[in-house]
């Protein structure tokens, strides 16, 4: 028998119980059970004398003997009461359920270790339904005073799988297999980081002798978990760079230089120049580029993307940008077309609403190479869309696309195009290392000169009239205003103002013909939505009342005020994205967060963060702490963060050490073939076959 055997090989685990373990906890093998970790511990470091007990409802542990057992009648049924005595005094042990078999199992006059929550009534102490163990049995077991408590479910508890039972199964596994537990890290890593041996770490995680041993065991297992994830990501990155050949963009000529000299509307920031340098180095190396470009709203990612595409054109290749929504695709198309005005470059757009005749024309021009840059939505992924020679694919707001969708872009060519992934949702460094560790990461961390920071304030609903007055003052200066609502129609469960309600009250306060109002929400037909959007863009309406459909993709430099209704209902990254819709012109812009007085601690933290900083990375760090990694990344990437023991937020220091160690190991020994790396190699390839984690990484 070995640890890969199913848990039915453990004494007392029937096929039925094993099925329950698998469906409820995902535990199939003995190894799975050994790596099922406690989430807290009951500290049984102290034994109490009965005379020293205090009436404080704490959990206590006492050694003594049962002197008497009796059944006591009560209003409904009865209770079983045992008198329990140590050398200092007496108390009661009480049972309301299972009285018959408990009464039969109790031994009078024999020493027991008793543990449970203390009750104090009428000057007397008692413990209801105590945990009990004969002192002789207690001494035979792995001596641990800190008792592990394992995650469980209602179904398991109702089926008789108690915490004590899980503990016993794991204990018998450890007693049986302790000597055979294989080390998974090299001696060098263990010595460098002063790590516990693997078998000792598992023993001390389940049955720690003390807090110090527990801390060392946790550190060792967290390091190991993060190390193997990083090893996979770093190795994948090395393979991409060495095995997957990329097109070489060695020429920097007419398109790139011509645009730089004649069409570039402003000087690039130092951050943009740095990122361009990183990209140019990638595309000239002969390796395949796989780069993530992070930049806050308005930091100038589009210019960097365009210059990268011009590099492809200079080398005889085509380029494409894929955006998640038609609005965003249209915005890219308009921005790129405007920037390339006067240059002999053919740009087109392909979205779901493009008519069949136009589609055929685009398909033809793509295949014969007369179309240089194609911008579009998911429509780009259709099998009919074939490029003559696609050199670079740029994916915007990439977290909105699934892994399979992104991979489909690779199949558009015999050789995969270079990939540049862009996001305006700043990703904290620790999360980027975990989720996008196989990508190179570039960050544009400064805004173009002349851009003023958006002033952000938090106001309560009772300040609405002064907010309306402020809006009127701004409109009088020729500015425009967004008002964003979280809901489209009234929900009985939620008592905050919905869009239609808000639209009516805004219409009363800003009457026709003096004021014009646009309304946009997700339930409108695309044509109606575009018409309303266009009116606002053209300055025909001063106020845009909308839901979060305007979060991404609307660029109106004249809009200087963003009012977010029921702002406590929005997530931090959403609030940050919405705020990014203003502050695009030269005028001072404002973001007003309206909320009710009833705010949760979390909501207060979110609103306070928004008022205090406009740094997207700081906001993302707070968001990560509040929401946890799984929620931030959405379902596509949540698999990578199903960690057993580590936490990418709390254990960020361990993560950095683990990643650096993985890089060092692979630089010295890319195939893990050296003798000293054999434990790492064995564990790595075994995990690659069995773990769900590996298939889910970007």
What is the C-alpha to C-alpha distance for residues 19 and 13, in angstroms, rounded to an integer?
Answer: 10
The lowest-confidence range among 71-80, 95-104, 294-303, 547-556 is: 547-556
The answer to whether residue 127 is domain-embedded is: yes
Give the domain-ending residue among 613, 644, 665: 613
pLDDT at 386 over 80: yes
Same structural domain for residues 519 and 393?
A: no
What is the C-alpha to C-alpha distance for residues 511 and 516, in angstroms, rounded to an integer?
Answer: 8
Q: Look-up: residue for tokens 């119980």?
A: 17
pLDDT at 259 over 50: yes
The answer to whether residue 132 is domain-embedded is: yes
DSSP code of 10?
Answer: S
Q: What's residue 120's pLDDT?
A: 84
**For 114-140, what is each residue's pLDDT tens digit?**
999 888 888 889 999 998 999 998 888
Structure token digits, residue 119: 């009750």
The answer to whether residue 113 is domain-embedded is: yes
The answer to whether residue 491 is domain-embedded is: yes
Same structural domain for residues 406 and 475?
A: no
> Which position has the higher pLDDT, 265 or 674?
674
In the chain, pLDDT over 90 holds for what percent of residues?
A: 51
Q: How far is CA 586 from the centre of its chain?
A: 35
> Which position has the higher pLDDT, 629 or 545?
545
Over residues 340-352, mean pLDDT: 93
Over residues 506-510, mean pLDDT: 94
Read off the CATH number of the domain in which 548 is found: 3.40.50.300
pLDDT at 408 over 80: no
Give the domain-ending residue among 561, 586, 613: 613
The answer to whether residue 194 is domain-embedded is: no
What is the C-alpha to C-alpha distance for residues 553 and 565, in angstroms, rounded to an integer?
Answer: 20
Q: What's residue 405's pLDDT?
A: 62
DSSP H or E stretch at residue 573: helix 572-579
690 pLDDT band, cuts 50/70/90, is low
Pairing mode, strands 318-322 and 373-376:
parallel
Q: What's residue 407's pLDDT?
A: 66
In the chain, pLDDT over 70 holds for what percent of residues?
A: 90
The answer to whether residue 264 is domain-embedded is: yes
**What's the pTM value of the predicted model, to 2 decimals?**
0.66
**For 198-223, what is each residue's pLDDT tens digit?**
999 999 999 988 878 898 999 999 99
Same structural domain for residues 409 and 507?
A: no
Same structural domain for residues 351 and 473?
A: no
621 pLDDT band, cuts 50/70/90, is confident
What is the C-alpha to C-alpha distance for residues 335 and 621, in angstroms, rounded to an integer?
Answer: 31
Q: What's residue 430's pLDDT?
A: 67
Q: What's residue 140's pLDDT?
A: 80
Q: What's residue 314's pLDDT?
A: 95
Mean pLDDT of the chain: 86
Same structural domain for residues 274 and 415?
A: yes
Residue ranges of alpha helices (H) inside 397-455 are 403-410, 429-435
Give the domain-ending residue among 552, 581, 613: 613
Q: What's residue 669's pLDDT?
A: 94
Same structural domain for residues 369 and 462?
A: no
Cα distance from N-terminal residue to C-terminal residue, the chain: 37
Same structural domain for residues 385 and 460?
A: no
What is the C-alpha to C-alpha distance for residues 6 and 3, in angstroms, rounded to an integer?
Answer: 8
Same structural domain for residues 466 and 566?
A: yes
Cα distances (Å, whole numbers) of residue 400 to 302, 406, 695:
18, 10, 18
Q: What's residue 633's pLDDT?
A: 44
The answer to whether residue 584 is domain-embedded is: yes
- Identify which of 225, 183, 187 has the alpha carbon closest to the alpha carbon of residue 200: 183
Read off the CATH number of the domain in which 93 is found: 2.40.50.140
pLDDT at 494 over 60: no
Q: What's residue 618's pLDDT?
A: 83
pLDDT at 243 over 90: no
Structure token digits, residue 495: 């008592």
pLDDT at 327 over 90: no
Over residues 310-322, mean pLDDT: 96
Q: What is the domain range of residue 547? A: 455-613
**For 11-52, what is each residue's pLDDT tens digit?**
889 999 999 999 999 999 999 999 999 988 887 777 899 998
Same structural domain for residues 346 and 395?
A: yes
The answer to whether residue 156 is domain-embedded is: no
399 pLDDT band, cuts 50/70/90, is low
Q: How many CA atoms lie within 13 A of 150 on its CB side?
A: 27
225 pLDDT band, cuts 50/70/90, is very high
pLDDT at 496 over 50: no
pLDDT at 616 over 70: yes
Same structural domain for residues 494 and 583?
A: yes
Over residues 646-669, mean pLDDT: 88
Same structural domain for residues 464 and 607?
A: yes
Q: What's residue 697's pLDDT?
A: 35
Same structural domain for residues 507 and 415?
A: no
**For 135-192, what is each residue's pLDDT tens digit?**
998 888 766 668 899 999 888 888 889 998 999 999 999 999 999 899 999 999 999 9
Number of domains in the chain: 3
């Amino acid at each position: 028998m070995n640890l890969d055997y199913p848990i039915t090989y453990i004494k007392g685990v029937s096929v039925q119980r094993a099925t329950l373990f698998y469906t409820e906890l995902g535990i199939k093998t003995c190894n799975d059970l050994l790596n099922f970790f406690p989430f807290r511990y009951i500290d049984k470091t102290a034994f109490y004398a009965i005379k020293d007990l205090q009436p404080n409802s704490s959990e206590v542990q006492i050694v003594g003997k049962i002197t008497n057992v009796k059944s006591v009648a009560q209003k409904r049924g009865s209770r079983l009461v045992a008198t329990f005595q140590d050398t200092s005094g007496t108390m009661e042990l009480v049972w309301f359920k299972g009285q018959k078999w408990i009464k039969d199992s109790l031994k009078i006059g024999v020493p027991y270790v008793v543990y449970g929550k203390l009750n104090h009534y009428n000057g007397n102490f008692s413990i209801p339904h105590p945990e009990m163990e004969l002192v002789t049995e207690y001494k035979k077991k792995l001596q641990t005073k800190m008792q592990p408590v394992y995650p469980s479910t209602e179904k398991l508890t109702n089926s008789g799988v108690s915490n004590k039972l899980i503990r016993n199964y794991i204990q018998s596994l450890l007693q049986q297999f302790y000597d055979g537990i294989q080390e998974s890290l090299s001696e060098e890593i263990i010595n460098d980081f002063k790590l516990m041996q693997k078998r000792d770490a598992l023993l001390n995680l389940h049955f720690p002798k003390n807090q110090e041993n527990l801390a060392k065991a946790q550190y060792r297992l967290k390091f190991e978990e993060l190390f193997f994830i990083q090893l996979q990501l770093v190795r994948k990155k090395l393979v991409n760079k060495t095995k997957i050949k990329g097109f070489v963009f060695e020429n920097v000529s007419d398109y790139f230089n011509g645009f730089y000299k004649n069409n570039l509307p402003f000087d690039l920031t130092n951050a943009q120049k740095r990122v361009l340098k990183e990209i140019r180095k990638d595309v000239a190396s002969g390796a395949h580029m796989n780069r993530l470009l992070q930049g806050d709203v308005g930091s100038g990612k589009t210019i960097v993307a365009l210059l990268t595409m011009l590099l492809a054109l200079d080398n005889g290749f085509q380029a494409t940008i894929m955006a998640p929504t038609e609005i965003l695709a249209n915005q890219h198309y308009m921005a790129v077309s405007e920037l390339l005005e006067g240059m002999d470059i053919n740009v087109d757009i392909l979205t779901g609403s493009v008519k069949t005749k136009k589609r055929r024309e685009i398909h033809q021009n793509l295949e014969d190479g007369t179309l240089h840059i194609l911008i579009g939505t998911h429509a780009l992924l259709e099998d009919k869309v074939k490029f003559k020679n696609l050199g670079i694919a740029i994916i915007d707001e990439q977290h909105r696309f699934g892994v399979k969708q992104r991979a489909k872009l690779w199949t558009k060519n015999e050789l995969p195009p270079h990939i540049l992934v862009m996001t305006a949702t700043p990703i904290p460094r620790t999360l980027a290392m975990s989720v996008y560790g196989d990508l190179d990461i570039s960050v544009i961390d400064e805004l173009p000169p002349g851009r003023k920071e958006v002033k952000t304030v938090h106001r309560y609903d009772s300040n609405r009239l002064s907010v309306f007055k402020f809006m009127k003052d701004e409109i009088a200066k020729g500015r425009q205003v967004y008002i964003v609502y979280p809901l489209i129609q009234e929900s009985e469960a939620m008592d905050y103002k919905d869009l239609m309600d808000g639209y009516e009250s805004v219409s009363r306060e800003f009457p026709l013909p003096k004021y014009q109002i646009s309304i946009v929400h997700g339930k409108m037909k695309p044509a109606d939505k575009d018409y309303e959007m266009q009116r606002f863009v053209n300055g025909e309406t001063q106020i845009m009342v909308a839901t979060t459909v305007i979060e991404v993709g609307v660029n109106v430099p004249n809009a200087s005020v963003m009012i977010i209704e029921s702002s406590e209902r929005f997530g931090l990254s959403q609030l940050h994205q919405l705020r990014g819709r203003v502050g695009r012109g030269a005028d001072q812009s404002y973001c007003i967060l309206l909320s009710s007085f009833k705010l949760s601690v979390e909501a207060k933290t979110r609103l306070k963060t928004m008022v205090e900083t406009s740094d997207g990375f700081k906001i993302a760090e707070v968001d990560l702490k509040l929401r946890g990694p799984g929620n931030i990344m959405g379902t596509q990437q949540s698999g990578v963060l199903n960690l057993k023991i580590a936490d990418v937020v709390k254990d960020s220091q361990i993560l950095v050490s683990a990643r650096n160690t993985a890089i060092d190991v692979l630089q010295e020994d890319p195939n893990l073939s050296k003798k000293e790396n054999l434990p790492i190699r064995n564990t790595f390839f075994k995990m690659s076959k069995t773990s769900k984690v590996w298939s889910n990484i970007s």
